[in-house]
Structure 1
Amino acid sequence: MPRQQGQIAAAAALALAVGLLWPGAAAAHASEGGFVLLLPTDAYIAGGVASVLATVVLIALIPEGLARRLFRPLDLGRAGRARGQALTSTLSALLLLWAIVQGFVGSQDPVKNPLPLLVWTGFWLFLVAGCGVLGDLWRWLSPFRASWALVRRAGLRPLLRYPACWGYWPALLSYLAFAGVLMVHIAPTDPDRLAWMVLGYWGFTLLGSVLFGARWLVRAEGLGVLLHLYAQLAPLRRRGGRWRLGWPGWDLEGRPRPPASLAIFILMALALGSFDGLNETFRWFSWIGMNPLEFTGRSAVVGPNLTGLILAGPLLVALYAASIQAGLILIEADGFAASFCALAPAILPIAFGYHVAHYLPSALVEGQYFWNMVARTLGLNEVTVTTGFFNRQASVRTIWLCQAAAVVLGHVLAIVMSHVAALRLHGGHGRAALSQAPLALFMIFYTLFGLWLLASPRGA
């Protein structure tokens, strides 16, 4: 009887996950997203989901030994000592200080002022994507490291010991604050307001470093934690004093199980990224009772967006936890906490893939403004900003396929990483595959959800 009750509970949890993640049909309205809807996106979405499903089947069939060797990197030789980080961090700090000053005294046009372009385009669009492909660029470019080094050079030592029980919770809080500015604040690109917010974040980070030392930068600075996690997806990594090359994410697979606070941080990165796409869709506007074609500004949706931002994380964590527990019930095993934490890093490729896909159209446009800002500063030739590639079917098709590829590849990699982690948790290939069935189903429907978000018309 207990076994039957457990199986019923597992089935109920899976039904809940499917019901909440299954998207309805998108209403086709004229908007920027409408260009994408001119394409046969249903076929592309079906193909993307099918490829993820095929990956699940393949993982279940490949030999156990091969599965265990998938993320063993190739040793490329000894890596020399990393030099120059102090210089690059200092230059980054000086650049940010200059941009903050420009935020106060320069043009208040967000596409001409360096600060919004540096923060929302240079950092959030390009640097985040660069870390996932090239490695931990933030270690070289973080202005906060330079300010902490200046404090140390002045002879100050940490005043307090960072409490172990805090884990990565402060990083999660600071990342939530950043997400609130991105998705809820009425004017996140206004240069003067942004200057105060950047100064506040920098000051808070510096204060934490003065109190707790460099550990604050590693555990409590949310943007740094996010970029460091994405950097571990890069194929080429420096590990153990040597350069190693492997499948994306191999560095995550070789690390100890993350603590619960970091596992939840990873899940929140996916949840907030997904909500960042959802809150722009016609479907979201219909849920909150607003006509997207008569959108009056961000101030009109502060309340609903804040509510969605607060609820998105716990909802995703609950669905993920239900999938993990359902898998353990299927193999009649315990160890929920260990499985929850050990499998969480496999969510990172999904979060990163969606970040790249969601912001690709913005990067194509904002990147032109960013180049013009650099060109004006250095006396180079500017380009004529164009959005003409959104008006041609061939270019829109290419953009959509690149977005879909980022989402699908992220999910495929996540499934493979999750299976390898399950092998370490449960030993045998069969038990690992069975334990992953609910989580794989969760990922398949999340693939569908992500592709639907990309294809949905947008009202803001």
Structure 2
Amino acid sequence: MMIPHANLRIKSATPFASFLIALAVPNLAQAHASEGGFVLLLPTDVYIFSGAASVALTVLLLALLPERLLSPMFSSVPMSRTRGSLAPLITSTLVCLFLFWLVHVGRTGPRDPLANPLPLTIWSLWWIAFVFLQGMFGNLWRWINPWTGPVALARKILGIKPFMSFPSKLGHSPAVMIFLLFVAVLLADPAPADPARLAGYVGGYWLFSFLAILAFGPRWLHRGEGFTVFLRLYASLGVFGRIGGRLRLGLNGWQILRMRKAAPWMAVLMLVILGSGSFDGLNETFWWLDLIGINPLEYPGRSAVIAQNLIGLGVANGLLISVFAGAVWLGLRLAKADLSLGTAFCLFAPTILPIALGYHFAHYFTSFLVDAQYALAAASDPMANGADYLGLGTFYVTTGFFNTHDSVRVLWLTQAGAVVLGHILAVLLAHAVALQHFGSNRRAALSQAPLAMFMIFYTFFGLWLLASPRGF
């Protein structure tokens, strides 16, 4: 099946195939990216139970393995020595100029979100692809952060120095609030992919953060700027990291075992990342729509469920934090550990990040496969005026991989595999952290038993979300 970039008509599509495409490509209705409801064509119950069983077996194996076998798994090897460089400031400035151009095109270019480069870049290339790459490889954000270069130039040329002190008692709470506000827009805004609307959000937030960094200095960037703090957390999962001025390579998550205890608000943000991502999938399911009294077959539009989704987002995050804290507390009691609940919460919160990253990939995978093609077409003709800067010729967006049983199975197993691998890595990291602080394998296993049950349940939940029917 091919979709011409010049218009949004679907050629050679049966009604059922068109329904599948509507599920997989919700940007046609100016919504944000979604998972694919096509997984309902498969025997997903088998895969869900198999995935949860894999996590359960990992938990059992860790309880029986000798302690000395786990530590080498998260060791790292030294690579090249790193030196201070102006290169990140230069690339930051170039990315900032590109962002300004995107905002301009968002305001003056085509209003179709599948033809305008701004929503495709922000939602598909940055929010979906870049966030995943950050979690897989390490701190790529330092190269494209759109504020560090312009702030350095402003300080150099204008001589502006920080003139306000960031209140230490706030911790990272501004970053948590900004991230939650972003998720609220993603979930509740009636048209988050509308180019002009998105241009206002992006331009306004860039200016706000630029002025805040000038006023408070780098401390705002590391404690208040929500996306920098969020992406630094995912960078701690990457295979590449820096220690003592040297680049090192290890298994995903190795840096978490070398982190100091997370600050309280940072620990909360880690849980909020997972809770928000989960609710982003839950709020589209028939179950949720039935819960809030909406007929999924007569969906009234996003504007009709703004309040319900915002309340659901808050409840989902509050419930997740409470259940996680309860599992940590019960583990401390079983292991008879002398750690406080607050300390243990901050120690184990980073081990949740692999689950969040795995679900992020699975949640958006099918949408990215389609929207990345639209992004390529928009890059070749950003103003939708018939240009062809990349020499693509007559370009068609294909969704043919949604049409066959074999390709759908591959897509579903890729999504399910990402969820399961994220949970297995989380279990391994949690057990390794427990070994560091509780000593013996027996005490570590006891402390992790409630948390392991939580992760097994969350495996079921994550895979169920992928397989659930969508209301829009």
Any idea what SS the aligned residue of 1:296 has?
Answer: coil
Q: Which of residues 51, 59, 62 in structure 2 aligns to 1:56?
A: 59
Residues 57-456 of structure 1 mapped to structure 2, 5 A cutoff: 57-153=60-156, 154-334=158-338, 335-376=340-381, 378-381=389-392, 383-456=395-468
**d(CA) in 1 for partners of 2:208 and 2:82?**
35
Q: Helix, strand or coil: the match of 2:79?
A: strand
- SS of structure 2 residue aligned to 1:192: helix
Runs of 4+ in 1 over 6 A off after TM superposition: none
Is the 2:285–2:468 Cα contact (8 Å) retained in structure 1?
Answer: yes
C-alpha separation in 2, matches of 1:273 and 1:440: 20
Deviation by residue 1:252-299 (Cα, 9 ceiling, x = unmatched): 111101111100000000000000000111111111111112112111
**Deviations along 1:20-60, whole A, 9 cap, x unmatched?**
xxxxxxxxxx8634421111111111111111001101111
Tell me, what secondary structure is at the counterpart of 2:70? helix
After alignment, is 156-165 or 256-265 more displaced?
Answer: 156-165
Offset, 1:87: 1.3
Structure 1 residue 77, shift from structure 2 partner: 4.2
Q: 8 Å contact 1:339–1:425 — kept in the other structure?
A: no
Give the C-alpha shift of residue 150 in structure 1: 2.6
Find the residue that maps to 2:449 and give its secondary structure.
helix
Shift of 1:454: 0.4
- 8 Å Cα contact 1:390-1:396 kept in structure 2: yes
Equivalent position amino acid for 2:322 in 1: A
Matches of 2:111 and 2:146 in 1, distance apart? 24
Distance in 1 between the 2:178 and 2:80 partners? 38
Please give the alpha-carbon distance, in whole angstroms, between the structure 2 residues aligned to 1:82 and 1:362: 37
Which moved further from structure 2: 75-84 or 386-395? 75-84
- Cα distance in 1 for partners of 2:81, 2:205 equals 38
In structure 2, stretches of 5+ residues that fail to align are 1-18, 24-35, 383-388
Q: CA deviation at 1:80?
A: 4.8
Distance 1:235 1:58 in 2: 24
Aligned residues of 1:110 and 1:189 also touching (Cα < 8 A): yes
Q: CA deviation at 1:81?
A: 4.5
Distance in 1 between the 2:169 and 2:211 partners? 20
Distance in 1, Cα, partners of 2:253 & 2:287: 34
Question: 1:77, 1:157 → 2: CA distance?
Answer: 34
Structure 1: tracts of 5 or more residues without a match: 1-29
Q: 1:338 to 1:187 in 2, by over 3 A?
A: same
Deviation at 1:82, TM superposition (A): 4.5
CA contact (8 A) 1:35 1:391 kept: no
- Write out per-residue CA displacement over residues 212-267 of structure 1, whole angstroms, 9 at most, x where no aligned residue: 10111111111111111111211122322222121101011111011111000000
The CA distance in 2 between the partners of 1:236 and 1:142, in whole Å, is 18
1:379 CA drift (Å): 3.3
Verify the 8 A CA contact 1:148 1:214 in the aligned structure 2: no
Q: For residues 379 and 434 of structure 1, what CA distance do their matches in structure 2 show?
A: 58
Aligned-pair identity (%) = 49
Q: Normalising by structure 2, what TM-score? A: 0.89
Is the Cα–Cα contact under 8 Å of residues 68 and 423 in structure 1 kept in the other structure?
Answer: no
TM-score w.r.t. the length of structure 1 is 0.91
Asked whether the 8 Å contact 1:138–1:224 carries over to 2, the reply is: yes
The separation in 1 between residues aligned to 2:37 and 2:315, in whole angstroms, is: 28
Cα distance in 2, alignment partners of residues 379 and 83 from structure 1: 30
> Would the alpha carbon gap of residues 78 and 145 (structure 1) be closer, same or farther in structure 2, given more than 3 Å must change?
closer
The residue identity in structure 2 corresponding to 1:319 is V
Tell me how far apart the structure 1 counterparts of residues 190 and 450 of structure 2 sit (CA, whole Å). 39
How many residues align? The count is 431
Show CA shifts across 1:319-338 (max 9, x none).
00000011111122332111
State the Cα RMSD in Å. 1.4
User: Is the partner of 2:255 in helix, strand or coil?
Assistant: helix
SS in 2 for 1:238: strand
Displacement of 1:134 in angstroms is 2.2
Verify the 8 A CA contact 2:88 2:149 in the aligned structure 1. no
Counterpart amino acid of 2:404? R
Match of 1:35 in 2: 38
Which secondary structure does the structure 1 equivalent of 2:74 belong to?
A: coil
